[in-house]
Structure 1
Amino acid sequence: MPFPTGTSRRRFLTAALLALGLTVASSGCNSGSETGGTPGTIKIGLLASLSGTYEAVGTEIRDGFELYLRTHDNKLGGHKIDLIVADEGNGAPTAVPAATKLLKQDRVHALTGIVGGGSVAAVAPVLAEAKIPFVGSNGRPELKDVSRIWTTSYLSDETGAAIAEYVRDNVKGEVFTIGPNYQGGYDQLRGFTDTFKEIGGKLANEDGKTLWTPFPQTTNFLPYFAQIKASGAEAVYTFYAGTAAVDFVKQYAQSEIKDLPLYAAGFLTEGGVLNAQGEAARNIYSVLNYSPDLDNAENRSFVAAWKEDHDGSPTTYAMASYDAAAVLDKAIGAAGDNPTPDQINKAISELGQINSPRGTWQFSKETHSPVQKWYLRQVRQDGRALSNTVVGDLATVGG
């Protein structure tokens, strides 16, 4: 058909421009619209250990976040989510380049996950440079600048601090402390030893200093158990996770100190490691901010949804990552149709109480970590399997 000329041509161009305007308006699903168009897609980066010592932990973190998306129509705050997952590996040397790609190449609106406290500390300067909020879902060390850093799990020294009084009151003698020589181990054990000493507890360690085992190469703990035996300790407090936790617990149960009560940060028996430890883990006491047997509506729904896709029960790693998604859901929804990273971060700072499978919690204004209750658990028989069963409440710690 020939192209219109004269008046007809002007009418044709006007109609074409109107049609183009309608097309542009209807395409707001890609970028958001101030006039009520469909909110645009938001990119979220998830960085977790999907290989190495803490692969099981990283997998739980990934699966917890993905569970929230699955049960919320793959949306956060009304926006479709493009979740970009990257491998943190064993720590900072692999975490930093992976985070840099997510922030600078993939240009995510927010970052979540990260298993290692050392990884968080190493990635923090990259986050500050990119001005991207981070909603972490595992232990975090204290940092000077947390203006864009939030944590849905805990600060790494809080775990030991929460159980210190219970150990003091229930052990009639000195306690030996042992753990891995990296950032997470330093923070976890310091939280226990500092609080324990402050409230009158005594350590059996030489010079009152924790015995550190080389990480990740230590797989034989028997020489260290000999030192514990020689110290005359009446109990042991420790932190290990992942494959190191399996080795430690199995060898402990076969060692000459097997009758000493063993207290630990809950990661020692959390998740798949408990299955691998088996009978060797029975009766271990641990402290954690979550257990799948907590009786509240949020937890019942969470556990039921988790079990649709998994054989076992959810862990604190999965729960904290699920909560990270919930935080981003609320914040992105409050930040408008086309939120920027700064707007998302500001919205997080204005959140109040969060309903969670662990119970209600909220961010501390100072540390940006949860103010939350901690629970005393013991490995006990639960039907056919051993389980971390809540046997009491401990302190409310955080902030």
Structure 2
Amino acid sequence: MTQLFKLVGLAILLGIPANHAVAQEKIKIGVIVTLSGPAAVLGQQARDGLALAVKDLGGKMLGRDVEVVVVDDELKPDAAVTKVRGLLERDKVDFVVGPIFSNILQAIHKPLVDSKTFLISPNAGPSSFAGANCSPFFYVTSYQNDQVHEVLGKVAQDRGYKRVYVLVPNYQAGKDSAAGFKIDYKGEIVEESYIPLGALDFQVELSKIASLKPDAVFTFMPGGMGVSLVKQYKQAGLADRIPFLSAFTVDESTLPAQQDAAVGMFGGANWAPNLDNPQNKKFVASYEAAYNSVPGTYAFQAYDAAMLIDSAVKAVKGDLTNKEAVAAALKKADFTSLRGGFKFNTNGYPIQDFYLTKVAKRPDGKFQTEIVEKVFENYGDRYARDCVPAN
């Protein structure tokens, strides 16, 4: 700190603005995602997507070096809070990007917001922070959790499925997914199964599905849970008989393990690798070249998070001490999203398009989700009306 004071003092003597004098200070971004256990692939995609964005920016924002500090939340709320304290007190980060899971977000949201540190979620978007508990220190580059599941509910309704089996994990995002599905779906829910987060054996539930013979199954099973479910669903002979509608269960994080078992299964998303715009084509090609895998939503949303931060740094001319100005710059979202159209609602969650996707096997043997149809356009979440933006 002494050197910093000397630098600022010298700048004043020379008539140079103080913020220019500290321009060489690094911009520090903390990344907290799940990097251990069956869900690690999700965190890896987010970490790598953000790293690619920083690389594309030349490792700098407004001429200042960017330092990224990555920590593993271990999918444990208590551990995540400890890790966040380290990012704040030891690493003194300017922004925090993460996490993947909503239960982790619920644990780290308060300490970050209370410290007036900007938290940008590249995945988790629970309803709990989208309404009355919205904050000018919290932004989401993904979606409100309900929305991607609303896609499948509308599709199920439009396709005339009369009876649907709902299968989700028993935590906030799972509850949000079921609620989201039921917004547009007006048919019968023949069974609603909530299973422990991290469970990998679905034989009991698959037996129920086979017995009840619903018109479709709706599920949300992220990471290793999705890998196990899809393989077991296929092995049980259900894939050819009962349509499989899901979000995050068959995506680019799980497809390398699911492979042919997932082909033809439907998903709901705000993006897909084959989304046709120049910036996305460049991103997908660069990501595949760098990491030898197909990027998923976790990767692209983290990429956008880095570009969002860059846009804010530029807008405030590098002065991150003016929190209100930084918040206003983040809310403006003056960058080109990989998804195309994107803007923030009053609650810091996006207004964007949503699609029905389907798993396909590419000519090169890799698997990816591909857009079938646009289901919602310029869609904002239903909780934003309860958010009163800070002045």
* TM-score class, shorter: 0.7 to 0.9
Secondary structure of the residue aligned to 2:358 is strand
Which residue is 2:187 aligned to?
201
CA gap 1:35/1:242 in 2 versus in 1, 3 angstroms: closer
Match of 1:351 among 296, 321, 333: 333
Separation in 1, partners of 2:161, 2:66: 54
Which residue is 1:252 aligned to?
233
Summarize deviations over 1:184-233 as a string: whole Å, max 9, x none. 2111222112331xxx322122xxxx2111222x2211111111222231
Separation in 2, partners of 1:35, 1:153: 34
Does residue 371 (structure 1) correspond to residue 351 (structure 2)? The answer is: yes
Which residue is 1:54 aligned to?
39
Separation in 2, partners of 1:341, 1:97: 27
Q: Which residue identity does 1:261 align to in structure 2?
A: P
Separation in 1, partners of 2:231, 2:20: 62
Separation in 1, partners of 2:122, 2:274: 20
Which residue is 1:189 aligned to?
178
Secondary structure of the residue aligned to 2:100 is coil
Answer yes or no: is the 8 Å Cα contact 2:11–2:21 preserved in 1.
no
Which residue is 1:72 aligned to?
57
Give matches, 1:277-316, under 5 Å: 277-316=258-297
Q: Which segments of 5 or more consecutive residues in structure 1 lack a partner in the other structure?
A: 1-19
Does residue 360 (structure 1) correspond to residue 341 (structure 2)? The answer is: yes
Q: Which residue identity does 1:193 align to in structure 2?
A: K
Summarize deviations over 1:222-257 as a string: whole Å, max 9, x none. 111111222231110100011111100000001153
CA gap 1:338/1:146 in 2 versus in 1, 3 angstroms: closer
Answer yes or no: is the 8 Å Cα contact 2:288–2:294 preserved in 1.
yes
Does residue 174 (structure 1) correspond to residue 179 (structure 2)? The answer is: no
CA gap 1:372/1:22 in 2 versus in 1, 3 angstroms: closer
- Measured after TM superposition, the shift of residue 21 of structure 1 is 8.2
Q: TM-score, normalised by structure 2?
A: 0.88
Which residue is 2:220 aligned to?
239
- Measured after TM superposition, the shift of residue 82 of structure 1 is 1.6
Q: How many residues align?
A: 367
Q: TM-score, normalised by structure 1?
A: 0.86
Give matches, 1:54-133, under 5 Å: 54-133=39-118
Does residue 264 (structure 1) correspond to residue 250 (structure 2)? The answer is: no
Does residue 161 (structure 1) correspond to residue 150 (structure 2)? The answer is: yes
Answer yes or no: is the 8 Å Cα contact 2:151–2:356 preserved in 1.
no
Q: Which residue identity does 1:203 align to in structure 2?
A: I
CA gap 1:78/1:222 in 2 versus in 1, 3 angstroms: same
Which residue is 1:17 aligned to?
none
Answer yes or no: is the 8 Å Cα contact 1:176–1:235 preserved in 2.
yes
Separation in 1, partners of 2:219, 2:7: 65
Secondary structure of the residue aligned to 2:254 is helix
Separation in 2, partners of 1:298, 1:276: 28
Answer yes or no: is the 8 Å Cα contact 2:31–2:69 preserved in 1.
yes
Does residue 387 (structure 1) correspond to residue 376 (structure 2)? The answer is: no
Give the structure with higher Rg (CA).
1
Q: Which segments of 5 or more consecutive residues in structure 2 lack a partner in the other structure?
A: 1-5, 382-391
Q: CA RMSD in A?
A: 2.4
Separation in 1, partners of 2:315, 2:187: 47
Summarize deviations over 1:15-67 as a string: whole Å, max 9, x none. xxxxx9899449x9xxx834677453211111111112310000111111110
Answer yes or no: is the 8 Å Cα contact 1:110–1:341 preserved in 2.
no
Answer yes or no: is the 8 Å Cα contact 2:113–2:119 preserved in 1.
no
Q: Which residue identity does 2:168 align to in structure 1?
A: G
Q: Which residue identity does 2:165 align to in structure 1?
A: F
Answer yes or no: is the 8 Å Cα contact 1:49–1:58 preserved in 2.
yes
Separation in 2, partners of 1:283, 1:261: 9
CA gap 1:79/1:249 in 2 versus in 1, 3 angstroms: same
Secondary structure of the residue aligned to 2:232 is helix
Answer yes or no: is the 8 Å Cα contact 2:268–2:354 preserved in 1.
yes
CA gap 1:41/1:247 in 2 versus in 1, 3 angstroms: same
Q: Which residue identity does 1:280 align to in structure 2?
A: A
